[in-house]
Chains A and B, each alone.
Chain A
């Protein structure tokens, strides 16, 4: 009886007794969720255009942020370092298309998936070789990002909003809106959607697969850079960030591998869900449930929507 009370009653009593902590938890979950959504977005973009689950998306985030910080530490001004980091991500996209995707075209998907494993280790090695393995501090002020917190004395307590988290939420929203416009309204975006729907049909109407792949990988690189900057500003830029990118997996399970809105909504559900779970129910089992709770949430959703929240329902007639 006591256990049932602790599971079903007590957490909600706590929410009512300390609404400021509830709002703070929701905010932390929202910010985490927005960042998970951005990571997931990188996976979705590439999966849509090439059918490849890009295992290297996490290390792309670290590599992009590391390039920016590494250049800054070598004396390059922050805005120029940012531009150069974007340039490096473009070169990476070109390289991936030329060295990985083009030679493996028409090979089974698993080959491409394994190739992204290889790419992961190449980027880890290259990053460590050039910039070293130690964590680096993101030059928040030099990049024009805000520091400090806004403390709101509300709901009988205190809700503290870190300015960098607010900036992350705004930048992520702008990027998502920008990508939506890019996909829906531009010629390249439409071509990209055509490739996602059917490679051969797209080729037959004169769409260059190679060009599209470069654009998609570059876009995923930009998303990776933005995520790396935001997450790096919250903690540090280190290779441990790569592990966080695996949080995108439950987001993708939940949102569907091919849906941009799915990545966003999935990210928010996972972000908020895991924070609420860890904060209100975690202490019942000694804490530390956050790392698997995300998967539990995703799998629970799958029971009702096997294709994910926004995934395409595939019906094969036989």
Chain B
């Protein structure tokens, strides 16, 4: 018995020591995926994890990888927890990842200073630090296609359009319901600036992570304050609860607009009364694209995925697909730039900076009409692309607006100033020395 115990302990110790040291095969391109299929945010995270994984796996199965090189995909479960996310980062670092996607603003922020040191580019797709779109200050960070500040500016523009112009916002009351964490607080300075400039009043309703499913106090405040519009930056279980509470409070759903994160499930739980709830989006929310059909054929249908078939084409699944498409195109561009097949993190940083996905390329990818074109440069790591408003009709989201451009004139200077302030605040922030291929 004692011998057996010793043997088991030895086996556990050997496995624990050996596991982190195992690198991806030298001929592979290692792409770790930070995901959360567990915990309070799994309701959002699972869809994205599936989408990200399935697109890359589809490239492996259909094309043998990218440029003939197989992608080594490895998921690391963060539970949307910053500490665990940083553990994931440290765990994948020795395996030479060509890019990391933290999938949490909280995890992204502490990784930002590490990226340049470790030579690992970071893709924080439409989340993270807004100012990291400034490539001259943050050469290793990429956050296309929009920052949270862009998102806020587009929501305000949409609201203004309903009211008859930006000038009509004067004297209006706009409520902001947000996850009381790095992500939800991110647009606060921008919102304060806009509020001062355009003359609308802002009412803030923070929701602590521990209270995500207990929002009655926030919605009682909404009932008292009677905001003309409500804006939400939520995530995980906060979103379906907010939609239910809005219905319960009899808040006019047509005036409840969210940033781009709610899924169909987040609205469905509140029943037909949730119809009218709106969110921003920049890509399709249907499975009617060749790329999704290929995923279905080569990955989901072949049993190489955890995705249920009815999840294909949903908002957050497609978001994950879009995220992995950006990674794959970054790698492909890096291969072109360097002439190498097996690229490194430094190469992919250059590839991401030279990313140019036009309409023709989207068509080649089986994503014609899936999303708009995007082009990044050394100075602009975001693109600041237009989005549209989609309305929940009781079962699915339907596009109800034209493309809305961000307020470039307002967001641009503020991002530059914020990036400068970030570099000044962090003493010794390195001046950019990285080469630029895409001027």
Contact = CB atoms under 8 A, between A and B. Distances in A.
Interface of A: 18, 21, 24-25, 28, 32, 124, 128, 132-135, 137, 149, 160, 162, 231, 234-236, 238-244, 246-247, 274-275, 278-279, 282-283, 286-288, 290-291
B189 interface: no
A275 B224 CA distance: 14
Nearest to A162: B248
Interface of B: 36-43, 45-46, 180, 204-214, 216-218, 220-221, 223-224, 236-237, 240-241, 244, 248, 250, 265, 268-269
Given A133-B46, A135-B237, A160-B248, A239 B40 contact: yes
A309 B126 CA distance: 50
Contact of A243 (B210, B221, B265): B210
A24 B209 contact: no
Given A236-B269, A287-B205, A279 B214 contact: no
B217 A274 contact: yes
Contacts, number: 120
B46 A134 contact: yes
B42 A290 contact: no
Nearest to A274: B217
30 contacts: A24-B223, A28-B216, A28-B217, A28-B220, A32-B214, A124-B38, A128-B38, A128-B42, A133-B38, A133-B42, A133-B46, A134-B42, A134-B265, A135-B43, A160-B250, A235-B213, A235-B244, A236-B237, A236-B240, A238-B43, A239-B40, A240-B213, A240-B236, A241-B213, A274-B217, A275-B216, A275-B220, A279-B217, A282-B221, A286-B204
A244 B214 CA distance: 8
A32 B216 contact: yes
A135 B265 contact: yes
A109 B207 CA distance: 36
B224 A291 contact: no
A249 B230 CA distance: 33
A238 B220 contact: no
Given A135-B237, A236-B237, A290 B43 contact: no
A274 B218 CA distance: 12
Given A133-B37, A235-B237, A18 B210 contact: no
A274 B268 CA distance: 29
Given A21-B220, A286-B204, A235 B210 contact: no
A238 B212 CA distance: 11
A287 B206 contact: yes
